[in-house]
A and B are shown apart, each in its own frame.
Chain A
């Protein structure tokens, strides 16, 4: 199971930190991924991170203002989102692995003044 939290309303230029807690599997053995979905739109792959946290990959549109990280001791995945823009408004899902076999319920991020 994956449970996201941390979404909400942020002003343009503001910051939010999303969290995702995994349970029922060996979290430290898996790549973890963030995917987002803007209102009424399709899925967009955002970032993922290797099991040991030493490799991270991003889609170009977030590379300079999002940071993915993890704490395997807490079975937790994070997404630090800085300098937020209106186009970052979306439901953010965490998913297990590089092949996305398990998904959380999502957390809504709204960027608006």
Chain B
């Protein structure tokens, strides 16, 4: 199975400051169709997960533009340009290139 490794696992942040989460995969996430199926999810306390980013860098509808995704191959990053209080929660990367699909361990973002 593809192992997804996130860092850091805990990320203390300051309101208004940038934040960055790394996600590395044990195999390339480039699919045979040429796409890279790497998604990012946010789970606020007590809530269901919510997808933020799909295929590395595409923001979902309603996701603030302070969230951005980048990367290629085996190395990916989620950035928050200016952290707001509502961004507190756990963030997960997930690959959908290989079977079974696998998630990272999660990164807890706290003020």
Give residues in A with beta carbon < 8 Å to B: 33, 35, 42-45, 48, 57-60, 93, 98-101, 103-106
Contact = CB atoms under 8 A, between A and B. Distances in A.
Contact of A45 (B43, B55, B90, B100): B100
A45 B103 contact: yes
B71 interface: no
Interface residues of B, number: 24
23 contacts: A33-B101, A42-B103, A42-B106, A43-B43, A43-B49, A44-B103, A45-B94, A45-B101, A58-B100, A60-B100, A93-B49, A98-B96, A99-B37, A99-B39, A99-B54, A99-B55, A99-B96, A100-B49, A100-B94, A101-B51, A103-B49, A104-B48, A105-B48
A105 B99 CA distance: 25
Interface of B, helix, strand, loop or mixed by DSSP: loop
Interface of B: 1, 37, 39, 41, 43, 48-51, 54-55, 60, 90, 92, 94, 96, 99-106
A100 B60 CA distance: 11
B18 to A, nearest CB: 24
B48 A45 contact: no
Contacts of B37: 99
A76 B37 CA distance: 26
Residue from the set B1, B37, B103 with the largest chain A CB neighbour count within 10 Å:
B103
Q: Which of B96, B102, B104 has the most CB of A within 10 A?
A: B96
A101 B51 CA distance: 6
A6 B104 CA distance: 28
